[in-house]
Structure 1
């Protein structure tokens, strides 16, 4: 109570902070009379002037007021838009590395120009991160008018552009791109074998647009780059047929965590069916030999029971296409992991693409925490403020609107079942549409969109359905959703990127209606006519009450509901919002079936009857808070596990960088050789043991296997006082001598390239295998909880041991490769070409649920999707009629292995 009184008297901490920023805005405004009279050339000359001041030791904060005033003037001259004072507040918040929460329609895209320009003055690069490539392209082109006017370069990173274009885009002062492209480029760069091939610069400053969508929703899933494995199509089809015979009583499903498991009876039934199909080794499903079969069985169950057609995915052109749960968009080219996508393909009877093996991965949390300064902007962040601070150390600052909000948010209306609810919604939509009020309807799935569409057809209401099936017309449908009486059903409005303007969108109408008309007086007259029509229509819509936003059910996150609501009431426009609920909604069905509230509603609410009230909305909000807390814990767990891998990832990537940058790596190879000699001796002659206990036969075998040497170890053993250290020294000396004899035949520069190539290939190969092992470890470590052990601690301990073992394997692998390789005389030696990246698939998947949320098919640089490649084969015997003369090193090998010539029979 006292806190509430203090807040009303002094304002909240957010209000006080914004008030303190307004003093800086006053300084910016004071520069306007000085900046306005400048010519275009004088205004553009401010950029080198600011750069000189920073080079002389001034801080960015010192030049902020004048720099922001310059950007405001440049925006007026190029875009015809002048930043409002509240937009200046937003720009200052972004510059300070905080999250600027601004309502929909407040001009966040323009706000970003302020912080971008100021931070780009240092010349270290600024990244603007968007949720999709349409927005990256649009915002980059749109705002580049301001930056180019002021003499700054702008780059755009989108899927399917070449390496050189990427390098140029990252070298620009300001770079626009999607979260996935930035993350995948980081992973690709750390798979390359030459510094010159890398595209990114060191991280400096990033502004994340729709920061809640990227750093919260999408952060549940890591980015993964993977390569192809063996084809198991027949196994998927066979297991899918078996799952058809498993009934509902044979398994238990948990919709909250989207998990499914066989009961004891179900396991016995599955064993019998698998045995009949000849897929079971022995008669126990959980024997070690049947691990793969169990995995495929579980994924087939998941595909058939937990993945619903037209909700989780659709089948288009003979392919299973995932539907993004946040945006309702089709995720072309994205695939579920761990064989789940293949299981769904088997279920739908379409062509099954091969699985892929992880080659590199990172979570968004660990990627974005690498930026020394990170900020973000969105319309909905306050509900997740604690998570933003705990994970990213970013404060959320709520920026006041330029004009007071006129939207009325009505209480939720509650019905007993879906059919009653949808019948009431259809009547309500017809009522508002008939009086000329545009209606935007938010649904949670394609299925619900189409069900509501059927109800509206019965009511004879003209409407547009915006979901994954009609993705192509998305921008045009949204742009005209504010026209009088327009009814638009949208699967989800998060990150749609197109403003809903009352009366309709002038730019879209001009583009659509005057596309074929040439510039001139006639076109100008037609444009003026459209502008006048839209002005009249806008007034009609305002009088009818503005945009009516209708939610057909509550999302599990309050932010998604707020995003939908925020589409109405932009820039002081009138508006209305209301949500319709029932007991069959997913939120209430999964998370509130056994509550007193649900039981009471079932008993006392008649069919077709509705209730509403503030207490009902509060009860739903409480349920949402609980779900948000649970989702936060799931995301936090992903971070905690990835933190373990992240420490190891940093070591490997730093080691790669050092190898690429070093003039020579001879000392590294020498250390590896010595440590390998020590390890080989330690395996056969354990410390503290007697010579009689040593395994000399194993020592001889290992020395020959690893070093290619056959020293007279028996003679050494006849000597007095022989110690393991003596054996280590002698083996190392012989290995050094053999190594030096090889090196003398080869030009030193060529030898450095050979050593680097061997080091990097061994590092990459073993890191890839290590990632696969860690994936498997993460999936089984939860079972340790039954032994009263904390799974995360067990994972850390085992992962550390596995990493140490991997380093040993790398040392031995490099030593062995150099020792057993045969090198020709110098004149026959060719400088080895550094290997290119393998063909791979980029995916963004959830390790717990298998959800996929990547952004492009193949990383955009290599053209060929891994799953369409021929199977890799080793270089084997060559037919007599095969001719290798004149074959380019990058061409496919004539032997038919499916590999490039330089990686097959053209290998050095």
Structure 2
């Protein structure tokens, strides 16, 4: 009632947007007759004309109507597809940097071509993001004819492509790819050692397909590039053995809502007994063992095989909880992945150390203009607005939605629920009506599949184990008697067409005959014509039976995922229906209010197999989903608040790194760093309290710059003399450094300085990330002392960052004075004093070839004598032998 009143009074923001869009659509439609009169050549030349007008200063907004009209005409000619008016409205929303919510089957892939062409004409690059590699390649190839018609180039990025091809893809006007590939390329660019290794060229305009899946579901997991640490894997096996001996509710408590495990006092005592230690958490060097035991308990009691992960080729592969796909190459952090590997008795990988990281939230926010499209965004409108500044515009469907959504059916147990689902599937199958069944895990899809096999009902299973056949299975899910069981339908990218998809059927028949459909076009066209007629007849029969029936076997934590499943039925005005079957044993009901419903069922005296079906219960479940959604939103908001602190530091370091990588003259910058280093060291010579530290400062200066540099300090007696001494030291070091540059030559010196800068900065950043991880892990405990953990984190991280930058300056200054260049012939002799000097002065691992046939010897190990070591090797997480109380990796074991 109130919604209708708001629309009439003009208070509905969405309706105001649509009203404005309809006027623009009228202008686009008025240009259609003019565009139809143009020849292909004249239409193609419009691309160059639009580019010229943009270069002359015309805004993209002023060209919108003309470009959209031209794109629609080109699409009609090259693809045989004409944009509907509602698709034009969706395109306008995307161009304005909004989220267009368009129902499944409304043609979002075609909609994207409108703003993509318009924005690509500016020459700054457009990135189109999809949820998997298959869709990125398919959409790019499918829409390529439209883009090429206007003279626009198209590139696709995907996993495991070589660097040169990746760079070419980014240089294209339009680049398709997945969100993870774009994010990881950004991180890899900021680990590059030469400007030629950079692939990305800027962040201008991004369109995210399935925007809710990318910016909401995946935003909880940051993108991390990591390298293996030196941790001992035996600790995970030991922790797993202990976890197997501990008893739930006696030795530890499980909080399923928070997905956490906590040891009890009795449990800690039992762990100490089993591990043979006196104080598990009180002593620093034992706390690592305690943490590993907790992670092992999580692996056993919170992470289920074929639900959260699968064992494939003797490896643990994570299952994406939102799309049901396998996430190859991803690993749980903080030792959890190793704990699961120990649980499943597969080879245990070393725990990784973070080298570079960013959240998807902060990566996407780097773009000047962000837009997205999905079938379900309105339920998360608040989060889109707060975090990304994105408005959601709900675009009306091309044809009225006539799907019927029935109330949920609730039974007592999972066994009863699956029996009821199987009964409905059997009844529907016999009638001929196609049915799509959604499950929330691989385990449940296979459980249902076994029941259907026992009843001899032919069906297809679509889950992470069979994702290779995804497109074919989905494409034919609308045929007569089709039964499809799928873990999740988010971002599948293939529409379910009632009666079947003739293109897929024709290609399948060609493949059976051993023919390539792209090479035997005539034969393909003949078969395609037959299949179109066959599918049309079947389409009419399926429509008469009521269209596609969707059955959900469990409510997901997010309403959007349920809506995505429902949205597979009723596309483009087709009939259809949906219903969810639930049990009191389902996670959502078990954790959020099943007691009230269970009490109601008992009062009604319901027997096994009987169910409740009422709209009020469906509303109560939706209310529970809202609570869970809010909980996850709080997690993502908290993640972002902490990552924002890190992001400021990341941007500062990456900006500095990029200027070093692309800078042509680094000699002046090196001189400035030397000067800053001198001033930093001298600043500690006199303090307000205590004795002057001139001797300590002299030793430090000699350690960094070599002997002789400290002489001007001999005449210093009070702080007033320090400025003059500082100038003398800086002049001396400038003279020394310029002599070194003259020996090397400017070109060689520039490359060596670049390498030194990058080596020192990257090493320090890696250590800083490790320190930040440690800080983040324990900062929550500050709340016990009535302190805000976020404010404490900001303060502590600022201090860590300041210390890191100070360390970087001093290390760079030190390395610049130690580096030397030797000739190839000197390097080959191996006993020259200058070669030995170079080897001894620089840290291990630094070696830089230059363009003059010379090489910087840096830590070359040939001929170096190793010190004799006694006793066992010290592990990175063992207490440091020096007695500091710190871990070895944070003390004497630092790189």
Query: TM-score scaled by structure 1?
Result: 0.88
Q: Aligned-pair distance for 1:670?
A: 2.3
State the Cα deviation string for residues 138-163 of structure 1 (Å, max 9, x = none). 00010001111222110101111111
- Match for 1:405 among 401, 407, 410? 401
Q: Secondary structure at the match of 2:245?
A: coil
Q: Which has the higher contact order (CA 8 A, sep 6+)?
A: 1
CA contact 2:280–2:290 (8 Å) conserved in 1 = no
Residue 750 (structure 2) pairs with residue 749 (structure 1): no
Aligned to 1:545: 546
Aligned to 2:759: 761
CA contact 2:102–2:396 (8 Å) conserved in 1 = yes
Aligned to 1:48: 48
The alignment yields a C-alpha RMSD, in angstroms, of 2.4
Partners of 1:597 and 1:56 lie apart in 2 by 67
**Pairing of 1:288-367 with structure 2 (within 5 A):** 288-367=284-363
CA contact 2:224–2:354 (8 Å) conserved in 1 = yes
Residue 796 (structure 2) pairs with residue 798 (structure 1): yes
- Match for 1:472 among 468, 472, 490? 468
State the Cα deviation string for residues 383-418 of structure 1 (Å, max 9, x = none). 011111111111100111111111101111111111
Instruction: Give the stretch that moved more between structures: 465-474 or 662-671.
Output: 662-671
Q: Aligned-pair distance for 1:77?
A: 1.0
State the Cα deviation string for residues 91-144 of structure 1 (Å, max 9, x = none). 111111101100000000000000000111111111101111110000001000
Gaps of 5+ in 1: 833-837, 839-872, 881-908
Partners of 2:818 and 2:57 lie apart in 1 by 57
- Structure 1: which 4+ aligned runs deviate by more than 6 Å? 825-830
Q: Secondary structure at the match of 2:608?
A: coil
Gaps of 5+ in 2: 829-837, 839-844, 846-857, 866-895
- Residues 711, 369 of structure 1: alpha-carbon distance in 2 compared, 3 angstrom cutoff: closer
Aligned to 1:117: 117
**Pairing of 1:401-800 with structure 2 (within 5 A):** 401-515=397-511, 516-517=514-515, 519=520, 523-593=524-594, 596-601=596-601, 604=604, 605-683=606-684, 685-689=685-689, 693-710=691-708, 716=714, 723-800=721-798
- Match for 1:371 among 363, 367, 373? 367
- Residues 749, 266 of structure 1: alpha-carbon distance in 2 compared, 3 angstrom cutoff: same
Partners of 1:724 and 1:688 lie apart in 2 by 15
Aligned to 1:240: 240
Q: Secondary structure at the match of 1:357?
A: strand
Partners of 2:722 and 2:618 lie apart in 1 by 76
CA contact 2:322–2:488 (8 Å) conserved in 1 = yes
Count matched residues. Answer: 831
Aligned to 1:892: none
State the Cα deviation string for residues 738-782 of structure 1 (Å, max 9, x = none). 323322322112111111111111111111111111111111111
Aligned to 1:870: none
**Pairing of 1:209-224 with structure 2 (within 5 A):** 209-224=209-224
Partners of 1:720 and 1:315 lie apart in 2 by 70
- Residues 671, 584 of structure 1: alpha-carbon distance in 2 compared, 3 angstrom cutoff: same
Aligned to 1:865: none
Aligned to 1:152: 152
Instruction: Give the stretch that moved more between structures: 210-219 or 658-667.
Output: 658-667
Q: Aligned-pair distance for 1:606?
A: 3.0
State the Cα deviation string for residues 360-398 of structure 1 (Å, max 9, x = none). 111111111111111000000000111111111111001
CA contact 1:25–1:89 (8 Å) conserved in 2 = yes
CA contact 1:207–1:376 (8 Å) conserved in 2 = yes
Q: Aligned-pair distance for 1:600?
A: 3.1
CA contact 1:745–1:825 (8 Å) conserved in 2 = no
Aligned to 1:847: none
Q: Aligned-pair distance for 1:85?
A: 0.6
CA contact 1:140–1:176 (8 Å) conserved in 2 = yes
State the Cα deviation string for residues 177-203 of structure 1 (Å, max 9, x = none). 110111111111111133332111121
CA contact 2:686–2:693 (8 Å) conserved in 1 = no
CA contact 1:104–1:567 (8 Å) conserved in 2 = yes
CA contact 1:742–1:823 (8 Å) conserved in 2 = no
- Residues 330, 719 of structure 1: alpha-carbon distance in 2 compared, 3 angstrom cutoff: closer
Instruction: Give the stretch that moved more between structures: 54-63 or 456-465.
Output: 456-465
Partners of 1:260 and 1:626 lie apart in 2 by 22
Q: Secondary structure at the match of 1:352?
A: coil
CA contact 2:709–2:733 (8 Å) conserved in 1 = no
Q: Aligned-pair distance for 1:730?
A: 4.5
- Residues 720, 11 of structure 1: alpha-carbon distance in 2 compared, 3 angstrom cutoff: closer
- Match for 2:376 among 376, 380, 383? 380
Instruction: Give the stretch that moved more between structures: 525-534 or 425-434.
Output: 525-534
- Residues 430, 666 of structure 1: alpha-carbon distance in 2 compared, 3 angstrom cutoff: same
Aligned to 1:887: none
Aligned to 1:861: none
Q: Secondary structure at the match of 2:37?
A: coil
CA contact 1:416–1:602 (8 Å) conserved in 2 = no
Partners of 1:224 and 1:611 lie apart in 2 by 46
Q: Aligned-pair distance for 1:712?
A: 6.4
- Residues 475, 355 of structure 1: alpha-carbon distance in 2 compared, 3 angstrom cutoff: same
Q: Aligned-pair distance for 1:731?
A: 4.0
Residue 10 (structure 2) pairs with residue 14 (structure 1): no
Partners of 1:225 and 1:215 lie apart in 2 by 20
